[in-house]
Amino acid sequence: MIENTYGIGKRLDFVAGVISRYRPARVLDMGCGTGANLTALLAERFQATRFVGVDSDEASIAFARRENLHGNARYILESEAGSLGTFDLVIASEVIEHVEDPDAFLDFLKSRLTADGKIVLTLPNGYGPFEIASLVETIMQLTGIYGALRAIKRFVRGAAAGTSAADTLAVSPHINFFSYRLIRTLIAGCGLNILEYQPRTFLCGFGFDQIMQSGRVVSWNADVAGSLPPQLVSAWMFLLEMGGERRQPIYRRGAYARLRRYLNEKRWKPR
């Protein structure tokens, strides 16, 4: 896979490494989207493993069923999923920032695990370079500045190195914005332990994507994240296992998160 500013190659390698080490028989990709950049590639690589991709977006699941033809993978709409059973590995990649109740979401992921099952959780740093760039982009659009810049951005990104198929066809703005401390607190509060952490990428999003078009710069961008504090990178990847006792729900959106949610929903409101 060709890397891009969002670290999709690094994400694939992270999850593939987990599967290589633990050899799960069944894998659930919760919020799989189109499956193009993760589920389908994993199914192709690990043909002895059964993959189930679940998503709430009909267009994304239709794409996955049409384009990702692997005998060891199936794609299901969330509304039609019914009883999924348990899995040796559950993947939730770039999902928790979209859900109304992150506590309940992590509880659900736990409920799908076998006794020794693991969870791969990836998400953006709610205060990192990507989200800062996203905030600037949102303000520019809501204030009417965006206009012609949007067309230029699409043109440049379409020609950029590392451009790949979309993770999802859904329009689903971020409604949660986690600090590194908060996501770790949430993980522990839901009775999970962190086995492994890796940063995903340093700079990405509006502005950065247009600047970093060289493959060498894109690779540097993914590599340099490993030498930076978690608070400075754009995205995180965690490997989790069952841990201590479940505590009371602890996630509450602060003023900044409530403002960001309001702006994002206003920006992406259907017209």
At residue 67, φ and ψ (nearest 5 deg) are -100, -25
Mean model confidence pLDDT for the chain: 92
Distance between CA atoms of residues 62 and 129, nearest Å: 33
Burial of 105 (0-12, 13-18, 19+ CB in 10 A): buried
Q: pLDDT tens for residues 168-200?
A: 888 899 999 999 999 999 999 999 999 999 999
In the prediction, which pLDDT does 150 show?
61
Q: Which amino acid is at 39?
A: T
Q: What is the pLDDT of residues 29-68, one digit of tens each?
A: 999 999 999 999 999 999 999 999 999 999 999 999 999 9
Distance CA 45, CA 65 (A): 18
**Tell me, what's the pLDDT at 160?**
45
- Residue 192: in which H helix or E strand, if any? strand 192-201
- The 3-class secondary structure across 90-132, one letter per residue, is EEEECCCCCCCCHHHHHHHHHHCEEEEEEEEEEEECCCCHHHH
**The pTM is what?**
0.92
Dist CA 112 CA 116 (whole Å): 11
* Closest listed residue to residue 131, CA positions, set 208, 33, 198, 59: 208
Tell me the backbone φ, ψ of residue 53, rounded to 5 degrees.
-105, 130
Q: What is the pLDDT of residue 169?
A: 84
Rounded to whole angstroms, the Cα distance separating 92 from 238 reads: 10
Domains in the chain: boundaries: 8-127+167-267
Strand partners, 87: 113
Q: C-alpha angle with apex 183: 179 to 189, nearest 5 degrees?
A: 140
User: What CATH superfamily classification does 8-127+167-267 receive?
Assistant: Vaccinia Virus protein VP39 (3.40.50.150)
The segments of the chain whose pLDDT lies below 70 read 147-164, 271
CA-CA distance, 63 to 50, in Å (whole number)?
Answer: 19
CA distance 239 to 119: 6
Q: Is 268 left (phi over 0), alpha (psi -120 to 50) or beta?
A: alpha
pLDDT of residue 8: 96
Sign of the CA dihedral 6, 39, 109, 14?
Answer: negative
Pairing relationship of beta strands 26-30 and 50-55 according to DSSP bridges: parallel
